[in-house]
Amino acid sequence: MMKKIISFVLGAALVLLLASCDTTTAEVKPDNTILNPPGQTQKAAEEKTAPSASNDRTDISEPSEPLSGMEIKKLDDATIAIVGSYVLTKEKYRVITEYMNQKFDYKLTKEQEKEFIEYIVNKKMMAMEARSLGYADKPEIKAKYEWDFDDILSHVYYAENVEKKSQVSEKDAKVYYDAHTGDFVEIKAQHILVKNKTLAESLHKRILGGESFEELAKKYSEDATTKEKGGNLGAFTKGVMVQEFEDAAFALGDNEVSQPVKTVYGYHLIKVLERKKYSYDDSKDKIVKMIKEKKQQQVFDDAIGALKKKYKVTVNQDAVR
pLDDT digits (tens, 9 = 90+) for 210-247: 999 999 999 999 999 999 999 999 999 998 999 999 99
C-beta separation of 131 from 27 below 8 A: no
Task: Report the percentage of the chain scoring pLDDT > 70.
Answer: 79
Query: What is the reported pLDDT for 233?
Result: 97
Please tell me the distance from the alpha carbon of residue 34 to that of residue 28, in angstroms, as a whole number.
Answer: 8
pLDDT of 125 above 50: yes
Per DSSP, the chain holds a count of helices (H) and strands (E) of: 11, 6
Q: What is the DSSP string of 163-204?
A: IGGG---HHHHHHHHHHTGGGSEEEEEEEEEES-HHHHHHHH
pLDDT of 62 above 70: no
pLDDT digits (tens, 9 = 90+) for 238-277: 989 999 999 999 999 999 999 999 999 999 999 999 999 9
- Residue 157's H or E segment, with its range, is helix 139-158
Helices 213-220 and 197-208: angle between axes, nearest 10 degrees = 160
C-beta separation of 7 from 127 below 8 A: no
C-beta neighbour count of 81 within 10 angstroms: 19
pLDDT of 31 above 50: no
If you average pLDDT over residues 289-307, what whole number do you get?
96
Beta bridge partners of 89: 79
C-beta separation of 85 from 109 below 8 A: no
pLDDT, averaged across the chain: 83
What is the chain's alpha carbon radius of gyration, rounded to the nearest angstrom? 31
Q: Greater confidence, 321 or 155? A: 155
Q: Where are the domains of the chain?
A: 2-135, 167-173+281-319, 185-277
Query: What is the reported pLDDT for 66?
Result: 63
User: How far is CA 200 from each of CA 164, 165, 206, 207, 217, rounded to the nearest angstrom?
Assistant: 53, 51, 10, 11, 11
Query: What is the reported pLDDT for 47?
Result: 41
If you average pLDDT over residues 144-168, what whole number do you get?
95
Beta bridge partners of 276: 186
Please identify, in words, the CATH class of the domain defined by 185-277: alpha beta
Query: What is the reported pLDDT for 35?
Result: 36
Per-residue confidence band for 101, with pLDDT thresholds at 50, 70 and 90: confident
Query: What is the reported pLDDT for 65?
Result: 65
